[in-house]
Structure 1
Amino acid sequence: MDVQWYPGQMAKAKRLLRENLKLVDAVIEVLDARIPHSSKNPDIRDLLARRPVVGVLTRLDLADPSATAEWVKKLHSDYFAVTAVNANSGDGVKKLLQLLKGLPQRRKHGQRPIRLIVVGIPNVGKSSLINRLTKRSAAATGDKPGITKGKQWVRVNEGLEILDTPGMLWPKITSERQAFGLATAGAVKDEILDPVQMGVELVGFMQNEYAQRFAERYKLEQAEGDPRHILNEIGRRRGCLVKGGEVDLEAAARLVVKDFREGRLGRITLEKAGESYDEDEVLPDDHR
């Protein structure tokens, strides 16, 4: 598996962060509630250590509510404060604004608004969150990793200003599980994983964690069995066929992944707060 996907514009994101941290009082790190562990950026932890960091779980409407609650509890030890929001509906935004009002301001900046920087890996909803906080379309939004470019100050209210920055992610993904979560959630380009492999892994996950709703979605008599065979059956039922009536597994895989990303499989979280992520299988050097 080749995961050497690092886009050119991401290479300078870390340098920009160093420069921008000099301008702000605190940091909002945006995490995808479906993959809270994998969407944390370990590269920036040391850089952020000198500023209070608020962790914000987004994609709340797509994530399992009980799993999100567990992650908020677990992440409290890593942040100044943690909360979860739905940037589309506005759920949780009022609570976030209250948390931000309580942030300490550096003394030398006197009475000016508290200034924040928003950081996070691509496509976790940074721009959507800013748009919701500022109540206007302040930053470019979209479905593709890396759509927010450059930087801009945006006003939240009289007491808060936000500097939006491009998302950041390390150039080498270090475990199979991390690669699966990031690719399936759409945080990295689809090309880093074989689409059939991604589809088979997602089917296997759904069999283990959300079997009933998965069977209901695709009208399967049962969700048990070899994930590849199940994916093949889904492809047959959904008309993902090529000449001769053979199932197009890649088309079937893309269909299942698309259903996950758009919430058609229900509210799903790919990572559990109670699991250990310290012993993930490390990818060989030639696959990073």
Structure 2
Amino acid sequence: MTRRTLLRGSAASFGLAAGGVLFSAGSAKAADLYNPFSGYPMTDGWWDHINRGSLGGIDYAMGVGTGLPAAGAGTVTNIPYNGTGGHTVTITHSDGYRTQYMHLSAFHVSDGTWVGQGGTVGFSGGAAGAPGSGSSTGPHVHWHLITPGGTRVNPLDYLGGGGGGTVLPKTSAEQDGVPGPTMWKRTQNWLRIQSGYTGPIDGVPGPNTYAALQRNMAGNWGYTGPIDGNPGPMTWSAVQRLAAQHGYTGPIDGVMGPNSWRGFSRFINADAWDRVG
């Protein structure tokens, strides 16, 4: 695996990486962390690790190549071939806490990139003997938190979610593949957080929503068309490439159907896009 492969998608520190890197850094506290892996089965808990002599961690089973969202905003450092941890990504938050994910198959952004909460920082690995797996014997991600003093702690003890505001419901499009107002409200909130959308969170997409979507797709998913708020096949092909990181296995043909919307909605149902304000 080449360094270029490990750092795919890292052309610019201020780009929008996999729906996650913002234009400027903000603040993050340990209490602002969320669990980006709540939808995956936990195969090893904190005390399972401690009881077998590990410094601690939580393991979630997932297929190799699954996008790994940042549990909180911060600055990324990649550590290739980090001993038994294999490829490891560290996210340093503004209060000095550090999130670490281990056993990656690839990194997604370059060292020094600032990512927003929910932004993809790498791709899961862990297949026995694969490059970057370290001592892992099966596909999963290992997650732990490190305090400013250097002590490894259970991240589930530090979850907060970031304060008040309106909480959006999850979209049923993840199950039925039918986009509707709830999906578009969540999409607008994602684009508000990450891509400069300033319109209402009303679930009615218009030129401003689509222009923000095009900006995000241009920064992440290979969109090379105009930012004109008028989506066509090039825009939707980029959306399908995002959806492919979340279970979509169909063609990248720019024609959104139920399977395309299901994959996209798995991404848009992430906890990071729940809260408005």
TM-score normalised to the size of structure 1?
0.30
Greater Cα radius of gyration, structure 1 or 2: 1
TM-score normalised to the size of structure 2?
0.31
**Which structure: greater strand fraction?**
2
